[in-house]
Amino acid sequence: MKLGFFLPQMGKAAGPDALIKVAQRAENLGFSTVWTTDRLLFPVNPRSPYAGSPDGSLPDIYRIVYDPLDALAWVAAHTKTLRLGTSVLDMPFYNPLTLARRLSTIDNLSGGRLTVGLGQGWSLDEYEATNADASKRGKRANEFLETLYAIWHDDPTEYSGNYFKIAASHIAPKPVQKPHPPVLLAAFSPPAMKRIAKYADGWHPVGMPIPVIAQMWGQIKDMAKEEGRNPDDLRMIMRGNLEISDQPLGDGRFPFTGSYDQIKADIKAAEEIGTEELTFDPGFSSKGGSADGFIEAMEKLRELAG
């Protein structure tokens, strides 16, 4: 199983030197991928509760957020073999044409090292700020992916749907990776799982018990088979939001939280259910306040994973 790690792209740790320091250490330690995430706003009075906190409040780390793609382009220039991933870009906030070009550019500049994680977002404030329509996000996401692939695969590109239209045009550069960079979807509802089965190269789960992830992964593979695809072609890259404690946590803990022994057991469980890559985000933990904290957590996880 490969290992990935999040970059200090958000919060007090974020900065150009920190991005390079953590990325280069990850590369030296043999990590496969470094990741960034998408957050547009830190609303003063948020209308959507944050699922990761007991009272629904946003974590302070979201007060400072470097653009996820610009951060990856910066890191690409200072690494050689490390893959570069997004976890995740929220499709409702983007236009597929402009996003396709930005992603293709990073794939070219990095020599074909990009992995694209996409999601749907959850913040009503961010939907409003980007003029996105939450009620139509499912159908729009299907067309979004179709448009993205048309741009990457076809020359000339032509697409006509309900949400996006592109007159026959030459659009370049195309991605280095063929037919396109791996596309993962963060999805949990049955319609979204079907979207993975039909359109995506894999699944990017987070925040659920590992036995639940295993059950859903089996369902996604069954759906892929129904779509006429080979389910073995799909990959699962799991995200673990890391929190290390001195003492073991009790029942009800999230995966990848607790003592080193508990986290080591979670790593083994993730591998046993067929996870291709496990990527850790220490940004919300006590290690997330500095680049050195990121590196300390990274080195310990490299040791735990063997």
- Burial label, 57 (beta-carbon count in 10 A; 0-12, 13-18, 19+): exposed
Positions of the chain with pLDDT under 70 = none
Round to whole Å and give the CA distance between 66 and 16.
10
* Residue 287: predicted pLDDT: 86
Spell out where 94-214 has E strands: 114-119, 157-160, 165-169, 183-185, 202-203
- pTM equals 0.96
The range of the structural domain enclosing residue 171 comes to 2-305
pLDDT reported for residue 52 = 81
How many domains would you assign to the chain?
A: 1
The answer to whether 249 touches 262, Cβ cutoff 8 Å, is yes
Residue with the two structure tokens 């992995």: 115
Q: What is the pLDDT of residues 38-51, one digit of tens each?
A: 999 999 999 999 98
- CATH number, domain of 268, equals 3.20.20.30
290 phi and psi angles, rounded to 5 deg: -155, 160
Q: How far apart are CA 254 and CA 212, in angstroms?
A: 12
Residue pair 138/108 in contact (Cβ under 8 Å)? The answer is no
The predicted structure's pLDDT at residue 53: 84
